Chain A
Amino acid sequence: MDFPINPPIGERVRRKETQRFVTGTGRYVDDLLPPGTLHVSFVRSSCAHAKIKSIDVEAARSMPGVRAVFTGKDIARHVKPLRVGGSSVLRPVTLYPLAVDKIRYFGEPLAVVVADNRYLAEDAAEMVSVDYDLLPEVIDPEAAMEPGAPLVHEDAGSNVVYKYHFATDGIDKVFEDADVVVKERIRSHRITACPIEPRAYLASYNKEEDSLTMWSATANPHSLRGRIADILSFPEGKIRVIAPDVGGSFGVKIQTYQEELLLPYLSRQFGRPVKWCETRVEHMRNGRHGRDQIHYIEMALKKDGTMLGIKDKIIADMGSTYTVDHSIQAAALYMTGVYQIQNYAVDALGISTNKTTHGSLRGIGKADASYILERLVDIVARQLQLDPIDIRTKNFIPADAFPYRNATGALYDSGQYHLAMKRTAEIAGYGQLRKEQAELRKKGIYRGIGVALVMEPTSSSRIHATGGYASCRLRIDPSGSATVFSSMGEQGQGHETTLAQIVASQTGIPFDKITVIHGDTLPTPYGFGTGSSRSSVVLMPSAWVAGKLMRDKILGIAARQLGVVPEKLEIGDGKVFAKENKERSIALMEIVRTAYGAIHLLPENMEPGLEVTGYFINPNIDYTPDDKGRMNTFSSYPYAAVIAVVDVDVETGMITIVRYCTVHDCGNMINPQIVDTQQQGSIMQGIGAALYEELRYGDDGQLLSSTFMDYRLPSVEEVPELELEHIVTPNPFTPLGAKGAGETGMLGPPPALCNAVEDALSPLGVKIRETPLTPDRILDLIEKAQAKLAHG
């Protein structure tokens, strides 16, 4: 692809949307309160696995201000279930907005109260009493796989609901012939996204028009519209979904939720707006969870550290009502990471348990893969007594091997792993760090240095799920301003700015005169949710395509009026002019007037007006596996090299991040400021995942960490000095050369920090296979390692 990347593309332009956010005039779902709004509160299960014997709603129903109470049975009579699963690898189950007969996880909604305000609704919800027939819980995914384990979904027939197998030819022989085979069991623990805005929905049915408007804090408005139409058997054309300002998603708001589907039904019942804003506790219990994979992984190597092959068995805890499988698949396809390993086998199993539903979370599956692989590489390096940088650089895919097809068929677009690692080592002063480490050890200071190179497949393309394309409609308005209608909503990514930068660059319309409309299904073209870092990979190119179509149209109109062929024309300073004679020009505004009002002056066969739609399709996607099972479902491959330096206090178990150096490559940057801020936030979320955050369940299936007191997000106090640099290797397959910038940052800290902590505690013989690295876990690991040493 050619890269005519002109300003303001590539500039650190201030974000348009920030102005309303700093003045408190952003508009989120909870800010809306139409007259006559009714409020909803959910009754949720107090156990993890049970048959519902009976639900007594009488006391709640008779409370003041309560309009209605519905149970799952009431609702199931009026709405169709959502079918989920049913692919070749995923067993099908049915899903209703409220639990009907059976509870499958702690906190599952089983009844709903509709009342005049949220306080009254919550009061009434507490008065609903439920009689359960308790069933044995299945919490541990490995126990859930055992024959005879209680079934989470009887209709699935097994708790093993997803199975995927892939193997290259002759993999066993590679392992037999290897000098060294290293085997490990490593687990990525369960976490969740925690946007600061919880989920919020407002449905408003208009009786006169027989139409429905749904405001939702969703990252996926068009898909939600289709689902509402489906379960209510209501014409999609009469439904409008609006995602106004959305306070962060990180994957968690891309899915459709049970509560989300219920509100349109309730609004239709009452003929009034119905609103629900979840509490933080509800968010922790019911928002989708992520990670939670166990890998039994082994690597075959030559003595000199040359990597020969990987075998992996993945056991992924999908929780109760699984709706997606791509976390497992994304891990299974990328376990060879950034290394030249063409021998690979994997058995990936998705397991139903009595936990909250698993779903999208920044770095879904790919974060598990990079964490576990980069841990394994470090363990291997220690065993072979090789430097962790040396073993990596020995095995990296070299820059001249791109585009590179990995063992599972994924086509990596571009990369300079050696350069990124080398530059990170320079920034960190790696040689000097090792010397200092040795000196500090003599003084009893446990300093560790952790290395990782994480790669993030982005812009996933899945049949019927993420579609693999995006679109933008672009109109130059009769007044000369421009409006961009984006198929994707935004939750903080800054699309109002970056889309305007692209359109300004192509059309010559000033950046300040471009308005971006997004998140509203009425004016915007169809598209899929914002996730998998796909905005800059497919959405921005679709605006680029629209901009190019518009540019061609403008030049075509000017060509006829000026008598100069379009190829010899240029746009600038509000004019179209001949490149060879700038005097020969026509004002852009004159072209706009012509297109709308003087169409007899348009070139033959040109449509009136200035309105175009640009589509961009993810390049290089192989949706269906070839005869060897190989496919490529992601389009771009950004990555980051990391060197983290930590000090571990062996008395308290506290970890201090002394330095965090990283070199990141997301290809061309449309707005480097936005990329930098994304990176900083993404890295902090990764630090939280590595050190502080965990969704921990009791043996009875109760979620033990369901508030910000026990599920600890990093605060400003935990921010280390970040030393962040970029290198730019443009994606050769997309017109902007961008690869996606949302997630790579989050992938770095878990392996880099775990590697650093294990390095710090290596004199004590500490091995890290479980996370997060909370002080109590560190102390426990030190104690166990000491005991082991003492007993030889």
Chain B
Amino acid sequence: MAKTISLTVNGKAYSGEAEPRTLLVHFLRDALRLTGTHVGCVVGRCGACTVLWNGTAVKSCMVFAVQAEGDEIVTVEGLAQDQRLHPLQEAFWKNDAVECGYCTPGMLMSAYGLLSKRKKPTDEQIKKAISGNLCRCTGYSNIVAAIKEAAENFTQ
């Protein structure tokens, strides 16, 4: 019983077919072909699929596509503007906060969600914001350092 879903992703209007049970992450990846958002566990535990849903960081495997009808989504593809990396992306690169890159989009979106709401987060707030994002490569320290550095340069 597929239905057409219309929503805004990274400021652009999209529509595509989804069944009522289609997960938002699968809709973004398979129907809209925005594959920067990754799938790691599909049970809300690893955070690789994190996106912003109406301004709040959520795991898009825990949302049905139909729930996001008419809403605003931001994915990792929406961070860089006019070919210029977002300060978070720059900081992740500079601080070597990335190895295999699989968790990275989710990490970035959790961090982006935090920085959208708090200009100067504490270390504790940074850790809390990404505590639902698992990374198996880096050991997290460089990720925390990157988010901290980006917060210094972040204006929205």
B-binding residues in A (CB < 8 A): 14-15, 17-28, 30-31, 33, 117-119, 193-198, 245-248, 250, 277, 279-280, 491-494, 673-674, 676-685, 707-709, 713, 715-717, 719, 722
Contact = CB atoms under 8 A, between A and B. Distances in A.
B138 A677 contact: yes
Contacts of B36: 23-26
A685 B136 CA distance: 7
A248 B130 contact: no
A709 B35 contact: no
Interface stretch (B62-70, B93-101, B114-122): B93-101
24 contacts: A14-B94, A22-B104, A22-B108, A24-B34, A24-B76, A24-B79, A25-B77, A33-B33, A119-B19, A195-B136, A196-B134, A197-B102, A247-B100, A247-B102, A248-B99, A248-B100, A248-B102, A248-B137, A280-B41, A280-B46, A493-B99, A673-B96, A680-B141, A681-B135
Interface in B53-105: 75-77, 79-80, 85, 89, 92-94, 96, 98-105
Interface residues of B, number: 56
Contact of A684 (B41, B132, B140): B140
Given A18-B92, A22-B92, A715-B131, A30 B141 contact: no
B151 interface: no
Nearest to A678: B99
Given A23-B36, A196-B103, A681 B79 contact: no
A683 B77 contact: no
B30 interface: yes
Interface in B14-43: 19, 21-22, 26, 29-30, 33-43
Contacts of B132: 715
A197 B40 contact: yes
A24 B75 contact: yes
Contacts of B37: 24
Nearest to B40: A196
Contacts of A20: 101
B43 to A, nearest CB: 6
Nearest to A217: B102
A15 B137 CA distance: 15
Contact of A713 (B77, B127, B134, B142): B134
A20 B33 CA distance: 17
B12 to A, nearest CB: 15
B143 interface: yes
A23 B96 CA distance: 14
A216 B29 CA distance: 19
Contact of B139 (A27, A193, A682, A709): A682
Contacts of A674: 96
Nearest to B139: A680
A28 B43 contact: no
Contacts of A26: 36, 101-102, 104
Contact of B130 (A15, A117, A716): A716
Contacts of A716: 127, 130-131, 133, 140, 143-144
A382 B92 CA distance: 45
Given A248-B136, A715-B134, A492 B96 contact: no
Given A193-B136, A715-B132, 14 more contacts: A14-B96, A15-B93, A18-B101, A22-B108, A26-B102, A28-B35, A28-B38, A245-B101, A247-B102, A280-B41, A491-B100, A676-B96, A681-B138, A715-B133
B99 A280 contact: no
B52 interface: no
Contacts of A279: 41-42
Contact of B98 (A21, A31, A707, A719): A21
Q: Please provide the 4 A-B residue pairs with the shortest distance between their CB atoms, ordered closest to farther.
A: A24-B36, A21-B101, A247-B102, A492-B100
